[in-house]
């Protein structure tokens, strides 16, 4: 603690991002980055934008990017907000739509979810309540709807698919939540960071964009970090009714009008306009996810049904290896995954979907760890008999 910090700074518990190692080379499956490179058109657009024009401020309204997004999704540009990654837009949404603790009821989100949500709530002095996941780690919409019907919530935010579980709610379930929030003029924020990885062609799972026109209280937030291989660029966008977008603009322009620089804007526009490239690479990620799910289950792992570009898996119970120990053993073999030291999920690992070659190395390491544990147990049992 510093004497120079104010009381709010002293009280904050900041978000902790996944490890970004610099001291050695790892197979990096811990931060849900896309394993494939950005579209060549993105690189070309950024190179073309690197001119003397960098001495000038970028377009604060991100007009070209918003128009590209509007054209791709069949909406009006006035329904689009662009920002410096989805995390910044989430921060703006908390500030714009949820009441402070002194003026409203708590917002709601799952007890196991994106750990930035409580950080934002604390930053903006917003009270919040967490709704427990079901025993199978799926989101139960019923408690949210019940609290909304009683006027006991100032809004809802949740990721779909959820993080770190990877499990998704159906479009119908999300519509019911949005309608319940709308009855009390509450905003429902759906964080679609991983929506590009839901099962293609599914009638059950997918984006909330199709029903958006009938849900003026629905705000959809997307990021180019995962679906467009641009985690290093920092670009995201939100789609909603014009009045919600105006609310985000009011917060942005009270904080920093120039949230996206010229290079990021150029790259983001090119990514939005090359949907076919990203559809192809993301379909490969979905196929790999299915393969690694089956192979981990064959090794005895408990794997949650994921609709994201990662898996949430628990080592075989009979192995006697904890999630923490398995995480450490993989790291010693040069493979990074994510482990959360939190109740209910401390025995799980979140494993990003990498290339097929990276996944092959991961699976071989898992077999080796389990095999060594089995041999160690057999040796211990022999010694105990002597």
Q: Is residue 386 one of the residues assigned to a domain?
A: no
Residues 104 and 229 in one domain: yes
The enclosing domain of 190 has a CATH number of 3.40.640.10
Rounded to 5 degrees, φ, ψ at 385 are -80, -20
Average pLDDT, integer, range 11-38: 90
- For 52, the token pair is 């003397």
Nearest by Cα to 76 from 248, 319, 303, 240: 240
The enclosing domain of 349 has a CATH number of 3.90.1150.10
Residues 154 and 253 in one domain: yes
Q: Is residue 2 one of the residues assigned to a domain?
A: no
Residues 250 and 305 in one domain: no
Enter the pTM of the model.
0.94
Q: Is residue 122 one of the residues assigned to a domain?
A: yes
Mean pLDDT of the chain: 94
- Give the separation between CA 295 and CA 365, rounded to whole angstroms: 13
Instruction: Give the total number of structural domains in the chain.
Output: 2
Residues 317 and 266 in one domain: no
CA–CA distances in Å: residue 95 to residues 116, 194, 251, 357, 359? 14, 23, 7, 43, 40
On the CB side of 268, how many CA atoms lie within 13 Å of its CA? 30
pLDDT in tens, 125-136: 999 999 999 999
Domain boundary among 233, 252, 274: 274
- Give the separation between CA 168 and CA 50, rounded to whole angstroms: 40
Answer whether residue 382 shows pLDDT above 60. no
Q: In the prediction, which pLDDT does 187 show?
A: 97
CA dihedral 17, 18, 20, 24 (to 10 degrees): 150
Residues 248 and 360 in one domain: no
- Give the separation between CA 228 and CA 235, rounded to whole angstroms: 10
Residues 268 and 281 in one domain: no
Q: Is residue 280 one of the residues assigned to a domain?
A: yes
- Ranges of beta strands (E only) in the chain are 27-28, 80-83, 107-110, 128-131, 155-159, 187-191, 218-223, 236-239, 302-303, 310-314, 335-336, 338-339, 349-352
pLDDT in tens, 1-13: 899 999 989 998 8
Q: Tell me the Ramachandran region of residue 190: left when phi exceeds 0, alpha when psi lies from -120 to 50, beta otherwise.
A: beta
Helix 63-73 with 262-272: angle, nearest 10 deg: 10
pLDDT in tens, 314-369: 999 999 999 999 999 999 999 999 999 999 999 999 999 999 999 999 999 999 99
Asked whether 181 and 126 are in contact (CB, 8 A), the reply is: no
Asked whether 238 and 207 are in contact (CB, 8 A), the reply is: no
Q: Is residue 372 one of the residues assigned to a domain?
A: yes
Q: Is residue 383 one of the residues assigned to a domain?
A: no
Domain boundary among 220, 247, 274: 274
CA dihedral 142, 208, 104, 121 (to 10 degrees): 100
Residues 363 and 224 in one domain: no
Asked whether 260 and 62 are in contact (CB, 8 A), the reply is: yes
Q: Which residues of 50-73 are buried (b: 16+ CB within 10 A; e: fewer)?
A: eeeeeeeebeeebebbbebbbeeb
The whole domain housing 239 covers 40-274
- With cut-offs at 50, 70 and 90, classify the pLDDT of residue 202: low
Answer whether residue 89 shows pLDDT above 70. yes
Domain boundary among 226, 253, 274: 274
């Amino acid at each position: 603690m510093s004497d120079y910090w104010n009381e709010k700074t002293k009280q904050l518990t900041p978000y902790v991002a996944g490890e970004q190692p610099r001291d050695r080379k790892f197979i990096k499956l811990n931060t849900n980055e896309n394993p494939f490179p950005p579209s060549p058109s993105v690189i070309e657009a950024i190179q073309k934008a690197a001119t003397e024009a960098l001495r000038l401020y970028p377009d604060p309204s991100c007009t070209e990017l918003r128009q590209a997004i509007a054209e791709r999704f069949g909406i009006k540009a006035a329904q689009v907000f662009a920002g410096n990654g989805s995390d910044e837009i989430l921060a703006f949404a908390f500030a714009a739509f949820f009441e402070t603790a002194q003026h409203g009821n708590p917002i709601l989100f799952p007890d196991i979810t994106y750990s930035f949500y409580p950080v934002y709530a604390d930053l903006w002095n917003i009270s919040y309540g967490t709704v427990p996941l079901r025993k199978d780690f799926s989101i139960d919409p019923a408690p949210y709807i019940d609290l909304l019907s009683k006027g006991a919530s100032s809004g809802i935010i949740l990721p779909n698919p959820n993080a770190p579980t990877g499990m998704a709610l159906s479009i119908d379930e999300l519509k019911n939540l949005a309608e319940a929030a709308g009855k009390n003029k509450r905003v429902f924020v759906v964080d679609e960071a991983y929506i590009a990885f839901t099962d293609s062609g599914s009638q059950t799972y997918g984006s909330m964009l199709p029903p958006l026109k009938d849900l003026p209280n629905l705000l959809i937030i997307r990021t180019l970090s995962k679906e467009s291989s641009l985690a290093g660029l920092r670009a995201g966008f939100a789609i909603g009714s014009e009045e919600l977008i105006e609310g985000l603009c009011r917060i942005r322009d009270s904080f920093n009008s120039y949230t996206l620089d010229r290079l990021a804007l150029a790259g983001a526009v090119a990514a939005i306009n090359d949907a076919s490239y990203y559809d192809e690479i993301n379909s490969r990620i979905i196929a790999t996810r299915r393969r690694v799910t089956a192979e981990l289950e064959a090794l005895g792992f408990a794997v949650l049904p994921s609709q994201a570009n990662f898996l949430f898996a628990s080592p075989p119970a009979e192995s006697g290896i904890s999630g923490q120990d398995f995480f450490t053993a993989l790291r010693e073999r040069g493979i990074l995954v994510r482990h959360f030291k939190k109740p209910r999920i401390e025995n799980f690992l979140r494993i990003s979907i990498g290339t097929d070659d990276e996944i092959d190395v991961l699976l071989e390491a898992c077999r080796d760890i389990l095999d060594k544990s089995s041999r160690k147990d057999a040796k211990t049992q022999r010694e105990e008999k002597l």
